[in-house]
Every structure is written in structure tokens, then in C-alpha cells.
């Protein structure tokens, strides 16, 4: 038995509903607390309305092709190259994916991975090959940099697609960030892992995964060495999918099959 607590409680919100002739209505809101970081979530009985395909601004998509620097014919002239000390050939290619520095960097090492030659892809048209190549080229860039600067221990591969998620360009692309210190949220996770290790003399993620598989409420299953489950205490209104890689501690340890299974 692990010492992990899945803390939750419920509160009721009451009001007179104008859509039901001002009849009394109650909505139950769940409150959950993440054991590792202390993050508190509210589990809502409703979801944000999703845009339908008919609401996609096709004319805006078409117009955005004109000045898109990530389209394949513009990448050679419109995107930056790495300095030769990091990548001698200027950009790194893997399949159709290409890695290069961000023109508007958030930090010293902030890069972009363009995933496809297509300017726009609906989510159901992303193949696992497209994603695998993107993750592999990001990993290669990280490995090359760490060979030269091993103190850069903290990295992330990020993706926000479409304006709804804050994406500035429609063309599918990832962001890669490598730094010598963790983000605030990453630091909270590291602190929680150390605390759990000290208190339980055990590795949190192994115990957590075991508990989630046992209770069967949020665990989806596994693909190869990759486990998929929903977050107990999510950060956003749409919830999150958590992914845990068995026997892997760092991005460099993920091999081709790991990325393919994840994709």
C-alpha cells in the first residue's frame, strides 16, 4: 500500500435557472488536490463548447499561407539557421520535419520544429509518422546541444495548435526549450518527487501508476512502454492526458519505438 492520497470533495452550487422557468437547479463541483505538487483542481459538470469544422475560418487559413515562413518553399529563406558551433549544417531534418532556432526566442535556446509540408492539417490527418519524425528531430537537437553544454539539464517539447490554444501560426510546429534551471511547475514536481522519496523510500511515478492501474478510473492502457491515463487533478477545463514512459528518466533515453508508440 502506498502513501499516495487521492484527496477530493464536492460542493453544490444552487441557483434559479432562467432556461427552466427559474426553477431551482443544483450543480455539483468536485475539488481535487494533487498529492505530488499540491495543485488544486475543480472538476466541472459541464465542458467548454468546442468549435465545429464549419466554424473553422477557411478564408483566414488560405490567406495565412501567403506570409507563412514555415511552408516548405519559404523555410530556406525565411527561417533562422543554427550557429555552426551547435549545428554545422544550419538546420536538422528528419523525414519531413525540420528543426531550426525560433525567430522570437523565449530564452537562450528556444527552437521550432516544423512538422509537415502541409500548411494546415486537421487533427485527424496527423499520422504517427509525422509526429514521430517531429519528436525525433527535437531529441536530436537536444542531444547535440547537451554534448556541448551538459549543464543544460531541463528541456521541454511543447505544442499549441490553432489560435484557441495560443498558436500564432496555423502551420503545424513544435517548440523546444532547453535551460539550466526548471520552470516553476517543473520545480514543484521535482520537489514533490524528492519529498516522496524521503518519506516513502520509493519512486513516486511507479507507485502512482500502480495505484491508477489498480483503481481503474483513469487508466487507458499501454502502447509498448508508454502508459496513458487522465490526470486526477487537471490544470485546464478540458482536462489532460498524462503519459508515463516505463524505465525512462530523460528525453535522451527515449528511443525510436518509444516515440512511435507515444505518437
pLDDT band at 162 (very low <50, low <70, confident <90, very high): confident
Asked whether the beta carbons of 243 and 209 are under 8 A apart, the reply is no
Query: What are the residues whose beta carbons fall under 8 Å from the beta carbon of 238, sequence distance 6 or more?
Result: 47, 48
| pLDDT category of residue 26 using cuts at 50, 70 and 90 | confident
C-alpha cell at position 19:
432556461
- Domain residue ranges in the chain: 58-184
Per-residue pLDDT, averaged over 69-77, amounts to 91
Per-residue pLDDT at 51 exceeds 80: no
How far does Cα 19 stand from its chain's mean position? 38
Judge if pTM exceeds 0.75: yes
Domain 58-184 has CATH 3.30.428.10: yes
Among left, alpha and beta (phi > 0; psi -120 to 50; other), residue 95 is left
Compute the distance between CA of residue 224 and CA of residue 111 in angstroms, rounded to an integer: 29
**What local confidence, expressed as pLDDT, does residue 56 receive?**
53
pLDDT at residue number 12: 83
Amino acid at each position: 500500500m502506498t502513501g499516495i492520497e487521492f484527496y477530493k470533495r464536492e460542493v453544490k452550487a444552487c441557483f434559479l435557472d432562467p432556461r427552466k422557468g427559474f426553477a431551482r437547479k443544483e450543480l455539483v463541483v468536485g475539488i481535487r488536490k494533487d498529492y505530488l505538487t499540491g495543485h488544486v483542481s475543480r472538476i466541472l459538470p459541464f465542458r467548454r463548447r468546442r468549435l465545429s469544422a464549419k466554424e473553422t475560418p477557411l478564408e483566414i487559413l488560405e490567406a495565412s499561407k501567403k506570409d507563412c515562413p514555415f511552408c516548405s518553399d519559404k523555410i530556406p529563406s525565411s527561417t533562422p539557421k543554427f550557429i555552426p558551433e551547435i549545428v554545422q549544417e544550419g538546420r536538422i531534418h528528419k523525414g519531413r520535419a525540420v528543426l531550426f532556432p525560433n525567430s522570437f526566442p523565449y530564452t537562450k535556446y528556444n527552437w521550432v520544429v516544423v512538422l509537415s509540408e502541409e500548411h494546415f492539417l486537421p487533427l485527424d490527418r496527423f499520422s504517427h509518422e509525422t509526429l514521430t519524425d517531429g519528436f525525433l528531430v527535437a531529441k536530436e537537437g537536444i542531444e547535440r546541444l547537451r554534448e556541448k553544454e551538459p549543464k543544460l539539464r531541463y528541456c521541454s517539447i511543447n505544442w499549441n495548435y490553432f489560435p484557441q490554444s495560443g498558436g500564432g501560426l496555423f502551420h503545424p510546429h513544435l517548440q523546444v526549450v532547453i535551460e539550466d534551471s526548471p520552470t516553476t511547475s517543473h520545480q514543484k514536481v521535482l520537489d514533490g518527487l524528492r519529498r516522496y522519496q524521503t518519506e516513502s523510500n520509493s519512486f513516486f511515478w511507479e507507485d502512482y501508476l500502480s495505484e491508477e492501474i489498480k483503481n481503474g478510473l483513469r487508466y487507458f492502457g499501454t502502447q509498448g512502454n508508454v502508459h496513458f491515463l487522465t490526470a486526477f487533478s487537471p490544470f485546464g477545463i478540458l482536462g489532460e492526458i498524462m503519459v508515463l514512459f516505463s524505465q525512462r528518466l530523460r528525453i535522451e533515453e527515449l528511443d525510436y519505438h518509444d516515440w512511435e508508440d507515444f505518437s
